[in-house]
Amino acid sequence: MADIENIEKIRLAVVVFLKNTLNVTDLRVIKVAKAADGWEAEAEVYEESSFIKSLGLPTKVRDRNIYEVKLSDSLEVQSYGRKGE
């Protein structure tokens, strides 16, 4: 049961971090895995289309991006970034 509690704490830490950092509301954690030096998680994030935003046009179009987040054993975020970049 402790593993489920840990995963839920990790999921919550990732959600709070990404919502605050990226200023998004639409996201969900799709992967949590134990790593040698902590935890790794992936989250599916829907953000305003960066292309359309760069044109200065109003839109409701959202890009689906996957973010990787690495956390320490104490759930401190060590790094994050968009997957594939």
How much is the pLDDT for 34? 92
Q: What global pTM score does this model have?
A: 0.84
What pLDDT sits at residue 9?
A: 94
The answer, yes or no, to whether residue 30 has pLDDT greater than 90, is: yes
Q: Is the pLDDT of residue 2 over 70?
A: no
Residue 75 confidence class, pLDDT cut points 50, 70, 90? very high
Q: Among 39, 40, 37, 57, which residue's Cα sits nearest to residue 48?
A: 57
Domain that holds residue 50: 2-82
Q: What are phi and psi of 83, to 5 degrees?
A: -65, 135
pLDDT digits (tens, 9 = 90+) for 53-72: 788 888 777 889 999 999 99
Residue 10 burial by CB count (10 A; 0-12/13-18/19+): exposed, middle or buried? buried
Number of domains in the chain: 1
CATH number at residue 25: 3.10.450
